[in-house]
């Protein structure tokens, strides 16, 4: 089977082509996921597999999507979105009437569109900035189209479904008004510069395969990107145990605030 030199060369070649540094991801999990694909493609080494996908744009983009785990749905973990809508955003609005929000690792777009619907209900006459970024260009194109399955919209209330979607051929299509509120952009969380001045950053179910070092660096960079009083919202399995060392204060479970 593949040896260590083969793995190192694969990571080097893959980074050169994709700008994705697999050294920032947990090696065991990444190797296991890639080995599954190698087996399906009858590739005995990592480099043999790389040669299969290197010049096949469809295969390569499918591989990137597979690695970046683009699974999402609207209002994922509804009880946390209820807290976001009932407490977090209203408190942020007391300080700033127009919010600057970043959905980091936005995947298929369900998260930023969920935010847009919440803000539309809370402040119907105000257009906030919602930046939605992801590493995967193909997934960003899907997000921009705003077309979803029944399962992906299962947590949406009937009133929001009627107000912000149209149903065509069993697909739910986001309204142009909601689409127009999102700024989609490709961004590599581990390599690219961060904007600053955010009131709210969401990074949920994104760092599952990151190394502890990569996660620590990322959460510190989010801290710098927040305004004083700004809030970081993470996923339900991603509690930040050393948040105090980074400068955050605990706000609600899975919500961390930068002190004023």
* Same domain flag for 129 and 248: yes
* Same domain flag for 44 and 149: no
Does 44 fall in a domain? yes
User: How far are the Cα atoms of 89, 142, 147, 241, 245 from residue 176, in angstroms, in the given order?
Assistant: 23, 15, 12, 40, 43
Does 73 fall in a domain? no
* Same domain flag for 223 and 115: yes
Q: What is the pLDDT of residues 142-188, one digit of tens each?
A: 999 999 999 899 999 999 999 999 999 999 999 999 999 999 999 99
| Span 16-37, average pLDDT | 90
Q: How many CA atoms lie within 13 A of 44 on its CB side?
A: 1
Q: What is the pLDDT of residue 140?
A: 94
Q: In terms of pLDDT, which residue wins out, 108 or 65?
A: 108
Q: Which domain holds residue 139?
A: 78-257
CA 84 to chain CA centroid, Å, is: 17
| Span 192-212, average pLDDT | 94
* Same domain flag for 230 and 183: yes
CATH number, residue 90: 3.40.50.150
- Given 22, 42, 68, the domain boundary residue is 68
The three-class DSSP label of residue 255 is strand
Does 227 fall in a domain? yes
* Same domain flag for 189 and 83: yes
CA 194 to chain CA centroid, Å, is: 14
Question: What pLDDT band is residue 88 in, cutting at 50, 70 and 90?
Answer: very high
Does 123 fall in a domain? yes
Q: In terms of pLDDT, which residue wins out, 69 or 242?
A: 242
* Same domain flag for 160 and 39: no
- Given 26, 45, 68, the domain boundary residue is 68
Q: What is the pLDDT of residue 64?
A: 85
* Same domain flag for 49 and 29: yes
Q: In terms of pLDDT, which residue wins out, 3 or 80?
A: 80
* Same domain flag for 59 and 179: no
- Given 68, 89, 112, the domain boundary residue is 68
Q: What is the pLDDT of residue 2?
A: 54
* Same domain flag for 124 and 47: no
The three-class DSSP label of residue 220 is helix
User: How far are the Cα atoms of 81, 90, 101, 232, 252 from residue 248, in angstroms, in the given order?
Assistant: 21, 20, 18, 9, 12
Q: 73 pLDDT exceeds 70?
A: yes
Helices (H), 41-146: 46-54, 57-68, 78-83, 89-95, 110-122, 137-145
């Amino acid at each position: 089977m593949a040896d260590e030199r083969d793995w190192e060369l694969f990571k080097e070649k893959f980074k050169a082509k994709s700008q994705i540094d697999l050294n920032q991801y947990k090696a065991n999990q990444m190797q296991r996921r890639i080995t599954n694909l190698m087996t399906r493609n009858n590739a005995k080494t990592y480099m043999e597999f790389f040669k299969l996908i290197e010049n096949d744009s469809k295969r390569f983009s499918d591989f990137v999507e597979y690695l970046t785990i683009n699974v999402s749905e609207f209002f994922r973990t509804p009880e946390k979105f209820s807290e976001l809508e009932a407490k977090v955003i209203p408190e942020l609005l007391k300080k700033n009437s127009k919010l600057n929000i970043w959905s980091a690792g936005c995947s298929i777009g369900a998260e930023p569109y969920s935010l847009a619907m919440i803000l539309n209900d809370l402040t119907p006459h105000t257009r906030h900035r919602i930046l939605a970024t992801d590493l995967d260009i193909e997934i960003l194109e899907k997000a921009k189209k705003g077309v979803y399955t029944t399962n992906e919209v299962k947590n949406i209330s009937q009133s929001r479904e009627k107000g912000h979607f149209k149903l065509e051929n069993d697909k739910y299509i986001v309204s142009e008004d909601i689409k127009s509120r999102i700024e989609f952009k490709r961004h590599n969380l581990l390599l690219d510069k961060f904007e600053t001045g955010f009131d709210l950053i969401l990074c949920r179910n994104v760092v599952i395969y990151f190394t502890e070092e990569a996660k620590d660096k990322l959460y510190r960079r989010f801290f710098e990107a927040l305004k004083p009083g700004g809030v970081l919202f993470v996923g339900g399995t991603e509690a930040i145990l050393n948040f105090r060392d980074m400068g955050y204060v605990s706000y609600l479970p899975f919500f961390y605030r930068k002190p004023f």
